Amino acid sequence: MIALFLRDLKLAMRAGGGALIGVLFFMTVVAVVPFAVGPDLNLLSRIGPAILWIGALLASLLGLDRLFQAEREDGSLDLMLMQEMPLVLTVLVKCLAHWAATGLPLVIAAPLLGLFMNMSEIAIGATMLTLLVGTPAITFIGASGAAVAVTLPRGGLLVSILVLPLAIPVLIFGVSAAYAAVHDPAPFLPPLLILIAITLFFAVIGPLAAALALRSASD
């Protein structure tokens, strides 16, 4: 499992720019917002957590279609289906490697972009924590969409369409927790715990659904 994690981490970093493409897209989405809403610093600080979350969500969707595509093209997907290790665990490890290569850099880049949006230290810390907790859920959800579209030569748009509606609760509670940390008396802990619960739920359901979809695609 460790070898599979390291292998997928290297492949994710190499394929299409890996983390760099996601971070650049994240920065681009956040950078264009002041041009659209104007130079009002108070307004930017208020909408900052929501903009960071929207940018992270869109950036997370970029490389989901490549989660199983390389294995499908070189034939190693068939070996994954026949190996002794349960396919669900294989998918889980691949999801963790994909998040470490694409999702974790977004979390690391969030404080810098938070300063760009004139956010306070509390808002930046809360947003970074919610991104750390919530972005794995997007990867787990995306695994099932990537498995459904694995047989398609260009399934990137289909994966985004399948994943985006399911990722809306992650976005809602992530932004709610970030705002609750700044605006009293709104509680911070309840939406954060719900966000953690959503991530844990999809950590079980996502790999299981992806494994079933991969077996159906092989048939």
* pLDDT tens, residue by residue, 59-113: 988 878 777 776 776 666 767 777 777 888 888 988 898 898 888 999 999 999 9
pLDDT of residue 130: 96
pLDDT band at 141 (very low <50, low <70, confident <90, very high): very high
Three-state secondary structure call for residue 143: helix
**Packing angle of the helix pair 189-218, 87-98 (nearest 10 deg):** 120
Identify the DSSP state of 75: S
Residue 2: what are its φ and ψ, rounded to 5°?
A: -65, -40
pLDDT tens digits for range 48-63: 999 999 999 999 888 7
Burial of 218 (0-12, 13-18, 19+ CB in 10 A): middle
Domain residue ranges in the chain: 2-217
> By mean pLDDT, which of 28-42, 69-83, 162-176 is the weakest?
69-83
pLDDT tens digits for range 190-217: 999 999 999 999 999 999 998 888 888 6
pLDDT of residue 74: 67
Burial of 34 (0-12, 13-18, 19+ CB in 10 A): middle
CB–CB of 12/22 below 8 Å?
no
pLDDT of residue 188: 86
Q: Alpha-carbon Rg of the chain, whole angstroms?
A: 18
User: CA-CA distances (angstroms) from residue 43 to 12, 49, 119?
Assistant: 36, 11, 10
CB–CB of 219/96 below 8 Å?
no
**Packing angle of the helix pair 41-60, 121-148 (nearest 10 deg):** 30
- CA–CA separation, 145 vs 160, rounded Å? 8
